[in-house]
Amino acid sequence: MSTYPVPHISQIFNQRSQGGAVETIADIVKDFKMKAEQRATCDCEKYFLMTKLAPSFGTLDAASIKNIDEEVKIMLATMHMALAKTPLHERSADKMVEICVNNLPLFEMEMDPALYVDRTAYITKPMEFFNFAKHKNMSVINETYAWFTSAVLDADIINSTQIDIGVFSEIMVTMGAVMQCFQHDVKKNEILEKKIVDIGVLRYPDIENPYLKVYRIRLTAWCDTTHVLVGRPPNGITGTCNMRCFSPILNKIASLQAITIDKLLAEADVMFD
């Protein structure tokens, strides 16, 4: 296995400051909430939560990376090298899964149903419901947030993204504004859709969560007048959660040359410094 210097974390992801701190998914979500709270009117539909790939480090940092298993360090080092070769505009959650599956023979994908997730959930409601959402009616917000968390069904995803009920209330304001626009634009026998949330996250392993996780969360507003049924509102939200988890293949890592292992371990130890 040929190696070149393992890229520092700031060479992989967007820097949040000149000091080298990178922009995590929690930072992106926080910025979305702050800007959305300042919108001039609840009719504004311009605030969407979007990022193709952002990191979440959990408790992993410059100090704790030195204490994780050596096999995990090697997995991270080789992942960084592969990701650095990928053009910035191509870096996404789907591309990250492709890299892990096709380009990194030291990884294996976990097939446990709790770790290999493709989940889609739907909620349909009358337009009045989304009008209430647009004005942050807490009964509506609580109901849809409970639906969202049950669709994701992974506490670590909720914790790492920090999509709490305050963030979700701003998502639902946008959702309500988009639904209102649909009412003006939709025609008979037509489907209108708009993504409100589409985030890809690379969740680094730490002491509590030993897997390298890649997940993508999407929330799409829609209005469907092609099959209007009595008693069923034509408005709704589709929520999608896809997750893949990877772990090191121990015997393949053990088969690497000692000089390669030592180099990868040494550089992994300082990738957060």
What pLDDT, on the 0 to 100 scale, is given for residue 2?
44
- Angle, in degrees to the nearest 10, between helices 138-152 and 127-134: 100
What burial letters (b/e) apply to 81-105, b meaning 16+ CB within 10 Å? Answer: bbbeebeeeebbbebbbebbeeebe
Cα Rg of the chain, angstroms: 21
pLDDT of 198 reads 98
Which stretches of the chain score pLDDT less than 70? Answer: 1-5, 15-20, 43, 227-233
The DSSP letter of residue 33 is: H
Rounded distance between C-alpha atoms, residue 241 and residue 256, angstroms: 35
255-266 pLDDT per residue, tens: 999 999 999 999
Cα 22 from Cα 14, distance rounded (Å): 6
Which pLDDT score is estimated for 1? Answer: 44
Instruction: Return the DSSP state at 214.
Output: E
Residues 264, 58 contacting (CB under 8 angstroms)? no
End-to-end CA distance of the chain: 25
Give pLDDT, residue 233. 62
C-alpha to C-alpha distance for 243 and 20, rounded to whole angstroms: 28
Question: Which regions of 90-190 does DSSP assign to beta strands (E)?
Answer: 107-109, 117-125
Please write the tens of the pLDDT for every residue from 22-60.
899 999 999 999 999 998 777 677 899 999 999 999 999
Q: In the numeric block, which tokens belong to residue 240?
A: 């999608």
Main-chain phi, psi angles of 110, to 5 degrees? -75, 135
Which pLDDT does position 45 carry in this prediction?
73
